[in-house]
Amino acid sequence: MRLTNRVLLGTLAVVGVHVLVMVYLVDRQLGSRLQDEAVAGLAREAHVVAAHWTAAADPYALAHTDGRALGHRVTLIRPDGVVVGDADFDREGMRQLENHAERPEVVAANGAAGIGVATRPSASDRDDQLYVAVRTPRGVARVSMPLVSLTSTISDAQQAVTLAGVVALAVALLVAWSMARTITQPLLELRNVARTIADGDLERRASLDAPGELGDLALSLRELSVQLASRDAARRADEALLVQLIESLNEGVVGVDATRHVIRINETGRRLLGVRDAIPFSADLIPRDRALRDALQAAFDGDTTEGSEATLLGRTVNITARPLESGGAVLALLDLTRLRRLESVRRDFVANVSHELRTPLTIIGGFAETLVHDDPPVDRRRQFAERILGNTRRMQHIVDDLLDLSRIESGSWTPNPASVDLAAVAADVISAARDAAGAKGVRLEASIHPGAREIWADPTAIRQVLGNLVENAVRHTAAGHVAIFSLVRNDGGLTVGVRDTGSGIAPEHLPRIFERFYRVDPGRSRDEGGTGLGLSIVKHLVEAHGGTVRAESTVGVGTTIAVHFPAAAAPEPRPA
C-alpha cells in the first residue's frame, strides 16, 4: 500500500474514531444530563401540583388546570391507587383507568424517599413517557412528559456533531493528502532511483534538491551512486584484466568452488579438458583421469600437487593443483604434448642421424684402415678409394639435406615467388636424372598441361621439389617410366607431381613417408643412396608456399605424389 493511501486511511481512522466517540458521548452524557434535568424539572412541577392539591381543590379540575399550565400530563392518585385526576382523560376515561398503586413511580413515591421516577410506554398512546411522582398528604401527584422530546434533542446534537466531524474529516483528509503528496513524491523518486541502482544502472541520479532529511537522503543517494559507479568501473576493469590475463595464458586454468562446481575456466582449459558447458557446471563433467581426480581431491583436502602428469584426450598434461582459502581449488594444466613430441623427435633424429652416418663412416674407416696397414694392388686401392669417395659423398648429401631441412624448419628461409617456366624446370630435372634412369632402363617423360606451363613459386624451391620427387621415383622404380605432370585446379591453383610405375607403397606406410628418415624399405633405400630426407624437404618447401602435398600408391602398380600450389596472388604495383 502506498504511503499516501496509508496516511489518508490513518487520518480517516483517527478522525472517524473521534467522531464516533463524540457521538457516543453525546448519546450517553448529553442524554443522561438531559434526562436528569427533565426529572428535576418534573419533580419541581410535581411539588407545585402537590401544593395545589388541597382539600378544597377538585382533583379532576386541578389536574387539567395544572396540566395546561405546565404543558405536561398531570395525574393525581389517591393513596389506594385510584386516579382522581388526569389531564389526558375526562371523568369517564378516568373510571376506566387501572389502579396505579403498583406503578413503580407510585410505589417509590410512597416509600421513604417520597419521590419516584419511571420510564415506560404510556397506556394511552404507547409512546415512551418519563414519569416523576411525589407523595402528598392526599396521595401521589405525578407529572409526565414524552421522551421523544429528549431523544429529539439528543438526535439534533448528534447530527450537529456528525456534521462537524464530516467537515473536520474532509479538511483533515485534504491536509493529509497535501502533506502526503509533499512527502511521498520525493520518496517515490528516491525509491525509483534506489531500485534503478539496485538493478545495475549506476548512472541514475536523484534530482531532488530540498532542505531537511529528504534533501540529505537524496544527497547521500547521489554520493552512493557515484561511489558505486566508481567501484563498479574499477571492478569491471579488474575483471576484464583478469579475464584477459587468464585467456592469454598457454596454461589451462580451472577454478572450482567448495561445492565442486567449476566457476572459472579459460579457453585453453576447455580445450585440454574437452568441456563446452557454460559455467558454473559440476566438476564431475571433467575427464575422469586418476591423476587429475587425485590432484583435485588433494587440493580440497588442503594439499598442493605439482608436477603430476596425465594423459587427457590423447594429450600429455602437467597438473598443478592448489587449495583456496574459500574451500575450493584451482587447477593449472600445462600442455606438454608438443614438448614430449619434440623430445621424441629429437631422440629419433639423433638415433636416425647416428644410424645413417654410422654405415658410411664404418665403410670409410674400414677401407682407410686397410689402405694404411696393408699394401693392396693398384686396382684394389682404386676400388677402395672409390668406395671411400662414394660414402663421403653420401655423408655430404645427408649433411646438405639436414642443413636444408633445418634452414626451412627454423623459418630462416622464406620463398621468393616468381613466374617459373614449368616445362623448362621439368626438362632440367629430367636431364639431371637421365643417367640414373638409363642405368635401370626407366623412361623419363614430362606431361605439362598447356594452361599450367607457368607456376608462381620460388624457382630454386620448385627445382628442388621436382628433383627430389623424380630422384625418389627413379630410385624405387625398377622398370617402366617416371613422368612429371601438371594440372590446372578449379580454384585457380596448380597441381604439379611425379607419377611412377615402381614397387608402390603399402597403405600403412603412406601417412608417414613425409617424416624425416622414414623408409618403407630401409635397407634397399640406403643401398640405393637415399637419405630419407627428400620427401620431408618437399613437404616443408611446399607448405612454405601455402600449398599441400598428397601421395597415392598401389603396391606393385606405382606411386603418384602430387603437390598443390595455391593461385598466384596479384603482384603489388611498383612505385613510379
Name the CATH architecture for the domain at 340-407. Orthogonal Bundle (1.10)
Nearest to 27 by CA among 160, 129, 122, 131: 160
Structural contact between residues 110 and 140, judged by C-beta atoms closer than 8 angstroms: yes
Nearest to 223 by CA among 210, 209, 241, 205: 205
Q: Which residue has the higher pLDDT, 549 or 520?
A: 549
Mean pLDDT of all residues in the chain?
Answer: 81
Q: Provide mean pLDDT across the span 261-268.
A: 87
Task: State the cell numbers at 260.
Answer: 565442486
Predicted pLDDT of residue 115: 92
% of the chain with per-residue pLDDT over 90: 17
- In this structure, the chain runs to a length of 576
Nearest to 326 by CA among 264, 258, 263: 258
Task: State the cell numbers at 442.
Answer: 626407366
| Pick from 167-176, 248-257, 412-421: least confident | 167-176
Cα 337 to Cα 352, 375, 425, 529: the distances in Å are 22, 56, 41, 34
Cα 158 to Cα 33, 151, 161, 539: the distances in Å are 14, 10, 5, 114
Q: Does 576 have pLDDT greater than 50?
A: no
Cα distance between residue 472 and residue 119, in whole Å: 143
Q: Provide mean pLDDT across the span 144-163.
A: 78
Owner of C-alpha cell 645427408:
398
Task: Give the model confidence (pLDDT) of 337-357 as tens digits.
Answer: 888 777 776 776 666 667 667
Structural contact between residues 370 and 376, judged by C-beta atoms closer than 8 angstroms: yes
Q: Provide mean pLDDT across the span 220-249.
A: 79
Structural contact between residues 70 and 143, judged by C-beta atoms closer than 8 angstroms: yes
What stretch of H or E contains 560?
strand 558-565
What would the CATH number be for the domain defined by 251-335? 3.30.450.20
Predicted pLDDT of residue 356: 65
Predicted pLDDT of residue 301: 87
Q: How many H-runs (helices) and E-runs (strands) does the chain carry?
A: 15, 18
Which pairs from 265-268 meet CB under 8 Å and 24+ separation? 268/333, 268/335
Residue 135 DSSP SS3: strand
Residue 22 DSSP SS3: helix
Q: Does 185 have pLDDT greater than 70?
A: no
Cα distance between residue 27 and residue 465, in whole Å: 124
The residue type found at 71 is: G
Contacts of 318 (CB under 8 A, 6+ apart): 307, 308, 309, 333, 334, 336
Task: Give the model confidence (pLDDT) of 21-36 as tens digits.
Answer: 776 776 667 677 878 8
Residue 518 DSSP SS3: coil
Cα distance between residue 466 and residue 134, in whole Å: 154
Class in CATH terms, 3-153 = alpha beta
Structural contact between residues 139 and 79, judged by C-beta atoms closer than 8 angstroms: yes
Q: What is the end-to-end Cα distance of the chain in Å, rounded?
A: 83
Predicted pLDDT of residue 572: 43
Residue 244 DSSP SS3: helix
pTM attached to this predicted model: 0.43
| Pick from 53-57, 177-181, 427-431, 474-478: least confident | 177-181
% of the chain with per-residue pLDDT over 70: 85
The residue type found at 383 is: Q
Cα distance between residue 112 and residue 110, in whole Å: 7
Owner of C-alpha cell 373510571:
95
Q: pLDDT class for 562, splitting at 50, 70, 90? A: very high
Q: Does 328 have pLDDT greater than 80?
A: yes
Q: pLDDT class for 574, splitting at 50, 70, 90? A: very low
Nearest to 145 by CA among 210, 74, 79: 74
Cα distance between residue 226 and residue 158, in whole Å: 60
β partners of residue 315: 312
What would the CATH number be for the domain defined by 414-565? 3.30.565.10
Nearest to 114 by CA among 142, 130, 137, 135: 135
Task: Give the model confidence (pLDDT) of 508-548 as tens digits.
Answer: 888 888 877 676 665 444 455 455 677 888 888 888 888 99
What stretch of H or E contains 49?
helix 31-52
Residue 155 DSSP SS3: helix
Cα distance between residue 18 and residue 296, in whole Å: 74
